[in-house]
Amino acid sequence: MRSSRIVEGLERTPHRALLSGSGMPRSELGKPLIGIASSFTDLIAGHVGMRDLERYAEKGVHAGGGYPFLFGVPGICDGIAMGHRGMHYSLPSRELIADLVESVAEAHALDGLVLLTNCDKITPGMLMAAARLDVPCIVVTAGPMLSGRLKRRRLDFVHDTFEAVGRFERGEIDREELSACESEACPGCGSCQGLFTANTMACLTEALGMSLTDCGTTLAVMAKKRHLAFASGQRIVDLVREGLTPRRILTPGAFDNAIRLDLALGGSSNTVLHLLAIAREAGVALRQERFDELSRETPQLCHLRPSGEHFMEDLDAAGGVKAVLHRLSDRLAEAPSVNGLSVAEIARAVTWVDDEVVRPVTSPVRPEGGIAVLSGSLAPDGAIVKQSGVGASMMVFQGSARCFDSEELAMAAIMAGEIRSGTVVVIRYEGPRGGPGMREMLAPTAAIVGMGLGESVALVTDGRFSGGTRGPCIGHVSPEAAAGGPIALVRDGDPISLDIPARRLDLRVEAEELERRRAEWAVPAPKVRVGWLSRYARLVTSANTGAVLDG
């Protein structure tokens, strides 16, 4: 075992002494040493319930014949970081999390890892570490939050806080209702209730084969989540003994399975960034275009919030991830999983699915998957749209550009009522390098929807969107403005055309005029010159490659 490096031999006497000082009995030496990487924090609603899960994972490791060591991993709440300079740190934290898990696991020669996670960048960061380390790992996602309640209406965080701000500004709701939404939208622990990034990634982790069946949708408040944490603790010891490591699980077929699930669910567009990054660590050559290839042949079967009316609690009651995979079972690869069965075998074994929440393939929500990859003169290296959140009337659209060089400037104009129907809001210099950190644009997109412009205004950015975003919002525009992409050359009034069925995003300006503008364009000065973000901006790659650190 890897841990023999620190527990065996005469020269390891000091190491054993320190383990003894940590409380480890000598009788436990020789058992698999299992790290429990916990992202518990009081700062994130999705993570405040993890103390219980830590205990149950520890109990499971002991029951399985291993010895557990708990260590901490930081987490950032995207909802709290949203709309201010804090969001610059969200995507970069994914890289830090992967590096920290790698550092602790290698420095202490751990034999296996239980990765306890939940929210947006933490889950992909831990999966990146698992793929990079290639030591036995199992992921426990802490689970979704219950829906809020206001009288007889169910609430979710995005619709009833971010979008409620726009409805208040429009005069659709009064301050009393806005205050009630604020108080009731998040009734307790768990990841936000819709198919936002946290819950999408939890579901995809199960489809990748890296967590136990039902882990992706089981609610944070349920005893079943404790049972899953316990079973995961037991199972990781078996994985160590079997030598089943992440790179044997994270095969090309596993990524196809996860992408198909994402498309069938209508999940977050952030998953494109994250799956590309995880695949890179696993040594799998995954291209952004693969999402579109599979989208063309994978129907959207679920209609969850933010674009639909079902919640994660509904998906869980309908059979969860395995139920959606069951609908797609004839298209799944026979990829292994931490369960000991292939993902396809688990899907085929399902005997009941709620047809209302998880539609049959013969009567889908949409004939194509939830994500589309666009290209064109405005995005030569691609752009991403969550087409599951776009209304039929906006699938093809042309409008006049209104350009902003930061999210704050755009948000001020939207809230001041300056954006009119027929506008394409362009927010640039918010990409991985230019942001830096590729901030999510949930505040402006939610405000546009809340103010009743979701069917007449599009938004295009080299930044990205929350999983809670809906409407004709195109992100990940590559190359980004800071790298001299065409989005840097757009001017107010320029016609921009969007054609999602044709997968096109075009700037309708003559080539000669664009060349003249390019000759006048200069590389902008870095927004951040010191600290972690300055280093990140120098090293990060483009969104179409997963916004990973190069070199």
> Catalytic site residue 466?
yes
Rounded Cα distance between 46 and 219, Å, is 11
Rounded Cα distance between 37 and 41, Å, is 12
Rounded Cα distance between 126 and 35, Å, is 13
Owner of token pair 């819709």: 194
Closest alpha carbon to 192 in 299, 269, 259, 118: 118
Rounded Cα distance between 147 and 187, Å, is 7
Q: State the sign of the Cα–Cα–Cα–Cα dihedral 341, 345, 346, 351.
A: negative
Q: What are phi and psi of 81, to 5 degrees?
A: -75, -15
Residue type, 334: E
Residue type, 400: S
* CB of 269 closer than 8 Å to CB of 291: no
Rounded Cα distance between 288 and 263, Å, is 14
Rounded Cα distance between 330 and 342, Å, is 14
* CB of 268 closer than 8 Å to CB of 226: no
Give me the catalytic one of 3, 269, 466, 542: 466
Q: What are phi and psi of 383, to 5 degrees?
A: -150, 160
| Distant-in-sequence, close-in-space partners of 340: CB < 8 Å, separation ≥ 6 | none
Rounded Cα distance between 325 and 475, Å, is 27
Rounded Cα distance between 389 and 308, Å, is 8
Tokens, residue 520? 């006048």
Rounded Cα distance between 397 and 503, Å, is 12
Residue type, 16: R
Q: Which residues are catalytic?
A: 466
